[in-house]
Structure 1
Amino acid sequence: MKNTGDRRRTIYDVAKAAGVSISTASNALNGTGRTNAETRERVRRVAEEIGFRPNALARGLLSKRSHAIGMLTNDTYGRLTLPMAAGVSEVLVDHGVSVFLCATNNDPRLAQLHLEALLDRQVDGIIFTATRLDLEPPVQLSRLPIPVVYVFAEGPADSVTFFPDDEQGARLAVDHLKELGRSRILHITGPKDYLAARIRAQSYLDACGDGAEAMFGDWSEEWGHEAVQTVFARPGPKPDAIFCGSDEIARGVIDALRDLNVEIPTDVAVVGFDNWEVVARQTRPPLTTIDMELKELGHRAGLAILSLSKGEPVPAGITRLPCRLVVRQSCGSPLQSD
């Protein structure tokens, strides 16, 4: 009963092949009405065999849903958004929901055009995501007639928002270094005007106490390299561990330590933050780092927007998801006492 022709199969073809009425075939495929289990299974099997695909527009008119959601992001390169989008898609695909990913490039006009296009497509909801926790959306999303979920971005007080737990992630890094016997831990991180950088730095300072030093700069290898040169040019004791606010900074730190003939991890252990695998796995030695679980953030955001689009309640407020320590070779084994 395979479809060998070029003509698009319709519900009429399914009903005829299954020996049922059109309404029964429709009810069986849409899970409505009182069709018995045996008939539903037969109709669905026949539909698959003849190559019938339900019309998405007609299905949307019946359910009053488009079975699509939009993702707006300012993340031009996709470093953060693509793993999150993969997580969103994973939880939505089994529900027949598609995801439209739109990059705004931090351009309010482009963001407005994307938003209008998504609304024209009558998407069931929107997920807004960004490259920093404290970035406000470039367009007004709080008054839309559809639900909005925020992930890795700031939303209104009554919104559904998902963040990585930066405080817990920084504590994981410091605790790991302490367990390895490191006591002079330096923190080199990104710009102070980034909320994530401030949260991680404060968690580090709380854990390390007196003598702890957090150095703020750029999210770049160049800054990591420069910071190490500055610290090792100063008189006095040198750090035996460096906790970096990003994997890019960590790679610059490792390059600078190597230039100074400092052994890693024998003399100085290094931990990054991000688990950007294309960077972390290629450093020498491979980088121990903190994974923000971006795909899990996407899972949670996808489930939330799915529930909201069905009219189901989802608790408002910020949900912080725990980070994960990924151990590689840049920290080594516990130090042996003399």
Structure 2
Amino acid sequence: MTTAGGGKAPTTPVTLADVARAAGVSVATASKALNGRAQVRESTRVKVQEAAAALSFTPNFFAQALNSARTGTIGMVTSDLDNRFVLPVLLGAEDAFGSGSLSVLLADARDDALREQLHLQTLLTRRVDGLLIVGRTTNPRPPVPLLADVPVVYVYAPSSDPADASFTPDNVQAGRLAAEHLIEKGRTRIALINGESSYAAARDRAAGVQQALTAAGLELVGGASLFGQWGEGWGRDCARLLVRGGEPVDAIIGGSDHIARGAIDALRDEGVSVPDDISVVGFDNWDLLVRESRPPLTSIDMSLEQLGRAAAQHLVDAIGGAPSPGTVAGPVRLVVRGST
């Protein structure tokens, strides 16, 4: 068709009604066929799809969202996007969502409760199908206040409400694995240089170490975990004091890879051989630290990508109508290197 001036008339966008008319079905049936609903016969579905292809019909995403119970989008809110523990969790979750062809909207609250609430409101306005809340530590956090019936799963930092679904690494098991490994190596004089006691991870790892020692009829050198800072300096100071103290030590568990590597540096300065005289184990299996340590550091890997994938899959299940409340302690694994 041409206009009076000889030019072509503007092309009218093909609508769902045009597709339905071409296929000889109702608009509702055409919509169901294109959205993969089970209530449509296969022969009808094929007819509608062929009509859509012939007309070069492009579905309107926003119209679909308004007419569907789901939008195919997931909201992920993190407290600290720069946190090295958060990133692998996000990667694992994104992999799981990607395999299900779901779109992900990511928001960083920067450890600010008000900013988090604003992000949540924005995501709910966009009609996300579910929310994944990623914490920066394993300390329990308050549940998010929601005004909509949207499934929520917490990962890394569990919700303080047991009725919520939470996924967090099993730090008690991590402590047990570290101590059991050293005991299997014949070590009986084990010290624990830990991080800050205000962190659930530090307390849980200490509990796991104590469980393994008690089961073997052993006690920690000094009788208790040495709680302090997370840095290498704390590891160096404590290792130096342990070596110069009156009690013999044949193994040190560092509450983190930073602490453990600091301990190794101090032991080398003191002329102590690792692992011949004293074995050392850390936590987190942070590649930059464990592989560059001298010798390479045995560490407990918290399997954070696997944790993120499990939480994401649980959220997908909850969106599908199969929620399961409670806290899941994700498995961890021992990675043996030269320090033991």
Q: What TM-score bracket applies, with the shorter chain setting the length?
A: 0.7 to 0.9
Are residues 1:187 and 2:184 paired? no
The alpha carbon displacement at 1:324 in A equals: 0.9
Give, in whole Å, the separation in 2 of the partners of 1:118 and 1:131.
20
Checking the alignment, whether the CA contact within 8 Å between 1:102 and 1:114 is kept in structure 2 is: yes
Are residues 1:231 and 2:242 paired? yes
Aligned to 2:94: 89
Give, in whole Å, the separation in 2 of the partners of 1:284 and 1:21.
74
The alpha carbon displacement at 1:131 in A equals: 2.2
SS in 1 for 2:226: strand
Aligned to 2:339: 330
Q: How does 1:245-284 map to 2 (within 5 A)?
A: 245-284=255-294
Checking the alignment, whether the CA contact within 8 Å between 2:194 and 2:230 is kept in structure 1 is: yes
Aligned to 1:297: 307
Aligned to 2:225: 214
Aligned to 2:130: 125
The alpha carbon displacement at 1:325 in A equals: 1.0
SS in 2 for 1:177: helix
Are residues 1:308 and 2:313 paired? no
Aligned to 1:78: 83
Give the direction of change, closer, same or farther, for the CA distance of 1:298–1:40 in structure 2 (3 Å limit). Answer: farther
Structure 2 alignment gaps of length 5 or more: 1-10
SS in 2 for 1:289: strand
Deviates more, 1:20-29 or 1:205-214: 20-29
After superposition, the CA RMSD in angstroms is 3.1
Counterpart pick for 2:149 among 140, 145, 150: 145
Aligned to 1:3: none
The one-letter amino acid of 1:36's match is E
Mark the structure with the bigger radius of gyration: 2
The alpha carbon displacement at 1:206 in A equals: 2.5
The one-letter amino acid of 2:266's match is A
Give, in whole Å, the separation in 1 of the partners of 2:100 and 2:82.
28
Aligned to 2:4: none
Give, in whole Å, the separation in 2 of the partners of 1:316 and 1:149.
9
Give the direction of change, closer, same or farther, for the CA distance of 1:101–1:41 in structure 2 (3 Å limit). Answer: farther
SS in 2 for 1:134: coil
Give the direction of change, closer, same or farther, for the CA distance of 1:38–1:188 in structure 2 (3 Å limit). Answer: farther
Give, in whole Å, the separation in 2 of the partners of 1:41 and 1:231.
78
Checking the alignment, whether the CA contact within 8 Å between 2:139 and 2:157 is kept in structure 1 is: yes
Give, in whole Å, the separation in 1 of the partners of 2:254 and 2:232.
11
Give, in whole Å, the separation in 1 of the partners of 2:46 and 2:210.
62
Give, in whole Å, the separation in 2 of the partners of 1:20 and 1:250.
69
Give the direction of change, closer, same or farther, for the CA distance of 1:39–1:148 in structure 2 (3 Å limit). Answer: closer
Give, in whole Å, the separation in 2 of the partners of 1:263 and 1:41.
76
Are residues 1:320 and 2:326 paired? no
The one-letter amino acid of 2:330's match is L
Give, in whole Å, the separation in 1 of the partners of 2:240 and 2:295.
20
Give the direction of change, closer, same or farther, for the CA distance of 1:303–1:227 in structure 2 (3 Å limit). Answer: same
The alpha carbon displacement at 1:226 in A equals: 1.7
SS in 2 for 1:83: helix
The alpha carbon displacement at 1:38 in A equals: 10
Give, in whole Å, the separation in 2 of the partners of 1:292 and 1:222.
23
CA deviations over 1:47-69 (Å, ceiling 9, x no partner): 6x999864432332232212112
Give the direction of change, closer, same or farther, for the CA distance of 1:52–1:171 in structure 2 (3 Å limit). Answer: farther
Deviates more, 1:199-208 or 1:73-82: 73-82
TM-score, length of structure 1 as denominator length:
0.83
Aligned to 1:162: 167
Checking the alignment, whether the CA contact within 8 Å between 2:19 and 2:57 is kept in structure 1 is: no
Identity of aligned residues (%): 39
Give, in whole Å, the separation in 2 of the partners of 1:184 and 1:256.
18
SS in 1 for 2:77: strand
Are residues 1:36 and 2:42 paired? yes
Checking the alignment, whether the CA contact within 8 Å between 2:131 and 2:153 is kept in structure 1 is: yes
The one-letter amino acid of 1:243's match is I
Give, in whole Å, the separation in 2 of the partners of 1:274 and 1:38.
55
Deviates more, 1:31-40 or 1:255-264: 31-40
TM-score, length of structure 2 as denominator length:
0.82
CA deviations over 1:218-245 (Å, ceiling 9, x no partner): 12112111211222232231x2111122
The one-letter amino acid of 2:243's match is F
Counterpart pick for 2:111 among 102, 106, 115: 106
SS in 1 for 2:283: coil
Structure 1 alignment gaps of length 5 or more: 1-6, 332-338
